[in-house]
């Protein structure tokens, strides 16, 4: 016996299997058709019908206004420039517009996108731009998009930009929308209305099952029994409901009989072990903090705390739901998945903790000043900001420990869960992951609060062992922390993280490289290609760098301030303010000092598929490049001469300074050596170590 259930991909706009969400559709439709007072975010966990919702919304909006549906899953690794080009092209295509004078395919930055919208023909009227699955984008690209849309929303009130008021943006997503819309410093704060997609009610599940088995000899009573049995497992989760119903239809076809409600148990077992959605829940709960929080909620309903990052994340991931202010498992399937994971992690078996058997806890903070800019590239092994010692010696029972650290308002919660055997001692290192949005607002060093808690848990009970806050400071976003000399005499060398300021994929860098092509004799910048001879390659690469030099000199008007490096005045730290390349290019006459110029040039070289290096010597920095991939032979350029001298002079000066630093032995010395030290930062090697650009 066959049923027709749809659990792969979105439902067609006219599908009878689209049931429920009437209230939410009405609300979003009114927001799209009424006066523009906000944009819209449609929030739902994975596979809860967000795309199906957009298809149905387009159908209902069609008589009243045009809409454009942009599927970001097509460009999952998009840079900002690629994203805006894609959205502009989709708008022009779906609205059936001829290319504008500038061309939609040439839109590559936020300002260009804003101008593109402002210049769209008046006859198109109001347009709803539906952006599906913002979570598909890299975090930095998503934040860039959010900031641009905020700017578009505000600019509609300016003279000459009133046309921007014709566009209402609607974005769908899940937990990734937490940072974009739910904190005071988020880009979407106060400019979006959040609409949450609920699960289906029992009545709606009955309707869905009836549609799915239409044309079959099922009686009304059996349809209701099947719906109730499925609802008991899925609680109306759209995908899980259709998937379980499809299993029952398959079983009925195999048995050549009517489906039976008792088969739900078999379908449940198969889904818990093989279903891709359940596997995704397992993946999301690898974080011990989330798993512990979810397990506690499965054990007993818990008051839902709106200020709890774990509760919010579990809710947006779709693992829990709320009712009358209480947090509950979203459905029976997810509850069982959580129990299984808790069993595997040992959370469910550990004995209840007690103060008499609790281990001792000691906490040490590596440094009171945190590197804001590239903290996302660091690991707790490389930069153990919080160092926790769990001493379980002399105790007769193993201790299941759960440690957390967070910087209030600026970070996610770093967590670690370990079992410390009786009679042993263990160490935990934690480094909270800073949130990009709030950190980008830091223009000066500012105080913050680091909170560290350590809990022992077991048998559904938890004992607080340690809870303390520490005053710390966050560097400005343009400050590079290059080294730390700890009170214990340990040196932490972070100089290679300077390459995080090398940002090759910003629209301004891409535009400038296109201009550099015009200065090349063959109008081609293609990296290490075209010859098998090292000397010929040296020449070919040099010609490409010369073209970049001329573009920065003539098109960017680069004027450098040849000021020595100032490695900060904080005892035990080496710090340096560094302008991001886009900041240097936006400065009046594109002004920058030596280290700013080094990261700017390195950004251009990396985008050109070359392998840049940055040389830091006492009081100075300059750029270089590998003359052949994998070969440790380099040439160097004195970037501060861009505005005043020709390329050959800058090349000769750069090479001379590098040789002088080698001759004096600077490169073989540790940081803080009073005789002077130097570092050669290999950008390609740093990328291989997963040190990524800030933007």
pLDDT at 183: 47
Q: Is the pLDDT of residue 243 over 90?
A: yes
Percentage, residues of the chain above pLDDT 90: 44
22-196 topology per CATH:
Rossmann fold (3.40.50)
Tokens coding 366: 């590596």
Report residue 406 CA to chain centroid gap: 18
Q: Is the pLDDT of residue 185 over 50?
A: no
pLDDT at 60: 94
Report residue 402 CA to chain centroid gap: 25
Q: Which pairs from 375-379 meet CB under 8 Å and 24+ separation?
A: 375/431, 375/433, 375/434, 375/439, 376/433, 376/434, 376/436, 376/692, 377/497, 377/500, 377/690, 377/691, 377/692, 378/431, 378/494, 378/497, 379/431
pLDDT at 562: 54
Highest mean pLDDT out of 217-221, 384-388, 594-598: 384-388
Min mean pLDDT across 94-98, 218-222, 564-568, 661-665 is at: 564-568
pLDDT at 450: 95
Q: Is the pLDDT of residue 614 over 90?
A: yes
Radius of gyration of the chain (CA): 29
CA–CA separation, 113 vs 84, rounded Å?
Answer: 6
pLDDT at 569: 58
Phi, psi of 364 (to 5 degrees): -130, 140
Over residues 84-106, mean pLDDT: 81
> For the chain, what is the mean pLDDT?
86
Report residue 230 CA to chain centroid gap: 35
Tell me the β-bridge partners of 411.
434
pLDDT digit string, tens, across residues 272-318: 999 998 998 898 888 766 787 888 888 888 888 766 667 877 887 78
Tell me the β-bridge partners of 66.
127
CA–CA separation, 507 vs 80, rounded Å?
Answer: 7
Look up the CATH number of domain 355-477: 2.60.40.10
DSSP string, 135-149: GGS-HHHHHHHHHHH
Establish how many alpha carbons lie within 13 A of residue 288's alpha carbon, considering only the half-sphere containing its beta carbon.
21
Closest CA to 275 of 233, 306, 310: 233
pLDDT at 567: 53
CA–CA separation, 215 vs 217, rounded Å?
Answer: 7
pLDDT at 180: 62
Closest CA to 270 of 294, 243, 249, 231: 243
- Contact present, 462 and 293 (Cβ < 8 Å): no
pLDDT digit string, tens, across residues 616-645: 999 899 999 999 887 889 999 999 898 889
Query: pLDDT confidence of 184, banded at 50, 70, 90?
Result: very low
Q: Is the pLDDT of residue 239 over 50?
A: yes
Q: Is the pLDDT of residue 418 over 80?
A: yes
CA–CA separation, 66 vs 343, rounded Å?
Answer: 52
Which burial class, exposed, middle or buried, applies to 458 when counting CB atoms under 10 A from its CB (0-12, 13-18, 19+)? buried
Residue whose tokens read 């499925």: 230
- Contact present, 45 and 2 (Cβ < 8 Å): no
Per-domain boundaries in the chain = 22-196, 202-274, 278-345, 355-477, 492-688
Contacting residues for 411 by C-beta, under 8 A, at least 6 apart: 432, 433, 434, 435
Work out the angle between the directed axes of helices 220-234 and 238-255 (0-180°, nearest 10).
130
Second-level CATH architecture of 278-345: Orthogonal Bundle (1.10)
Q: Are β-strands 167-173 and 127-132 bridged in parallel, bridged antiparallel, or unpaired?
A: parallel
Over residues 569-584, mean pLDDT: 80
Q: Is the pLDDT of residue 188 over 80?
A: no
H helices of 488-635, where?
507-517, 534-550, 581-586, 594-607
Tell me the β-bridge partners of 473.
369, 447
pLDDT at 593: 80
Phi, psi of 188 (to 5 degrees): -95, 5
pTM of the predicted structure, to 2 decimals? 0.61
DSSP string, 597-650: HHHHHHHHHHHTT--EEEEEETTEEEEEEESSTT---EEEE-GGGTTTS-HHHH
- Show the 3-state SS of 184-213: CCCCCCCCEEEEECCCCCHHHHHHHHHHHC
Contacting residues for 417 by C-beta, under 8 A, at least 6 apart: 288, 289, 292, 345, 347, 400, 401, 402, 403
Min mean pLDDT across 119-128, 183-192, 348-357, 664-673 is at: 183-192
- Contact present, 198 and 180 (Cβ < 8 Å): no
Q: Are β-strands 491-493 and 479-485 bridged in parallel, bridged antiparallel, or unpaired?
A: antiparallel
Q: Is the pLDDT of residue 250 over 60?
A: yes
CA–CA separation, 491 vs 487, rounded Å?
Answer: 10
- Summarize the chain as % helix, strand, coil (round to 5): 40, 20, 40
Percentage, residues of the chain above pLDDT 70: 92
Contacting residues for 437 by C-beta, under 8 A, at least 6 apart: 143, 146, 179, 180, 183, 185, 186, 187
pLDDT at 95: 92
Sign of CA dihedral 408, 414, 419, 421: negative
CA–CA separation, 415 vs 352, rounded Å?
Answer: 20
pLDDT digit string, tens, across residues 521-549: 888 888 887 777 788 888 899 999 999 99
Query: pLDDT confidence of 1, banded at 50, 70, 90?
Result: low
**How long is the chain?**
695
Distances in whole angstroms, Cα of residue 143 to Cα of each of 38, 179, 421, 440: 18, 9, 43, 10
CA–CA separation, 255 vs 201, rounded Å?
Answer: 30
E-strand ranges in 324-460 read 326-329, 360-365, 369-370, 386-391, 399-407, 414-420, 425-430, 446-458
H helices of 260-319, where?
264-274, 276-284, 288-299, 309-316
């Amino acid at each position: 016996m066959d049923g027709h259930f749809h659990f792969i991909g979105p439902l067609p706009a006219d599908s009878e299997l689209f049931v429920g969400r009437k209230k939410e559709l009405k609300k979003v439709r009114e927001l799209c058709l009424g006066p523009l007072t906000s944009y819209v975010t449609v929030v739902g966990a994975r596979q809860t019908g967000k795309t199906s919702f957009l298809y149905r919304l387009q159908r209902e909006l069609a008589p009243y206004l045009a809409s454009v549906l942009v599927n970001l899953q097509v460009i999952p690794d998009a840079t900002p420039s690629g994203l805006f080009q894609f959205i502009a092209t989709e708008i022009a295509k779906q609205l059936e517009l001829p290319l504008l004078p500038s061309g939609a395919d040439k839109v590559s930055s936020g300002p260009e996108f804003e101008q593109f919208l402002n210049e769209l023909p008046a006859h198109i009227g109001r347009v709803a731009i539906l952006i599906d699955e913002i979570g598909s984008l890299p975090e930095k690209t998503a934040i860039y998009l959010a900031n641009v849309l905020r700017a578009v929303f505000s600019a509609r009130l300016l003279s000459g930009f009133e046309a921007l008021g014709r566009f209402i943006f609607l974005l769908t997503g899940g937990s990734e929308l937490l940072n974009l819309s739910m904190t005071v410093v988020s880009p979407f704060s106060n400019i979006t209305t959040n609409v949450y997609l609920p699960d289906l009610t029992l009545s709606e599940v009955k309707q869905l099952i009836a549609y799915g088995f239409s044309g079959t000899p099922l009686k009304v009573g059996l349809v209701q029994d099947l719906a109730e049995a499925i609802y008991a497992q899925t609680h109306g989760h759209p995908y899980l409901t259709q998937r379980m119903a499809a299993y029952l239809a398959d079983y009925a076809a195999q048995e050549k009989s009517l489906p039976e409600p008792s088969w739900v148990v078999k379908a449940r077992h198969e889904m818990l072990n093989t279903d891709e959605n359940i596997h995704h829940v397992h993946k999301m709960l690898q974080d011990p903090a989330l798993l512990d929080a979810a397990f506690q909620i499965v054990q007993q309903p818990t008051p839902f705390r709106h200020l709890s990052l774990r509760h919010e994340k579990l809710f947006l991931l779709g693992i829990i739901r709320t009712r009358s202010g209480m947090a509950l498992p979203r459905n029976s399937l997810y509850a069982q998945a959580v129990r299984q994971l808790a069993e595997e992690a040992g959370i469910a078996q550990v004995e209840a903790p007690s103060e008499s058997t609790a281990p001792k806890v000691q906490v040490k903070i590596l440094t009171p000043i945190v590197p804001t800019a590239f903290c996302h590239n660091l690991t707790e092994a490389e930069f153990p900001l919080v160092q926790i010692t769990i001493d379980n010696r002399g105790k007769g029972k193993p201790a299941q420990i759960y440690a957390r650290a967070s910087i209030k308002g600026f970070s996610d919660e770093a967590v670690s869960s370990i079992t410390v055997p009786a009679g042993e001692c263990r160490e935990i290192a934690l480094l909270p992951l800073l949130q990009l949005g709030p950190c980008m607002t830091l223009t000066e060093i500012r105080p913050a609060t680091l909170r560290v808690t350590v809990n022992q848990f077991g048998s559904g009970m938890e004992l607080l062992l340690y809870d303390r806050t520490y005053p710390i400071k966050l560097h400005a976003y343009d400050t590079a922390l290059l080294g730390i000399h700890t009170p214990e005499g340990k040196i932490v060398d972070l100089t290679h993280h300077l390459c995080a300021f090398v940002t090759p994929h910003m629209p301004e860098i891409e535009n400038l490289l296109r201009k550099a092509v015009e200065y090349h004799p063959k109008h081609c910048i293609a990296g290490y290609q075209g010859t098998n001879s090292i000397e010929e390659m040296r020449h070919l690469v040099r010609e490409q760098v010369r073209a970049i030099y001329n573009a920065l000199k003539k098109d960017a008007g680069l004027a450098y301030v040849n000021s020595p490096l100032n490695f900060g005045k904080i005892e035990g730290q080496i710090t340096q303010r560094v302008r991001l390349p886009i900041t240097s290019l936006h400065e009046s006459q594109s002004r920058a000092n030596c280290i700013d110029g080094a990261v700017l040039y390195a950004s251009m070289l990396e985008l050109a598929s070359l392998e840049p290096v940055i040389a830091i010597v006492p009081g100075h920095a300059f750029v270089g490049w590998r003359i052949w991939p994998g070969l440790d032979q380099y040439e160097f350029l004195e970037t501060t001469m861009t505005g005043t001298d020709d390329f050959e002079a800058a090349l000769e000066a750069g090479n001379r300074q590098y040789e002088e630093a080698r001759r004096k032995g600077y490169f073989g010395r540790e940081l803080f050596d009073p005789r002077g030290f130097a570092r050669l930062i290999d950008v390609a090697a740093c990328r291989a170590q997963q040190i990524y650009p800030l933007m």
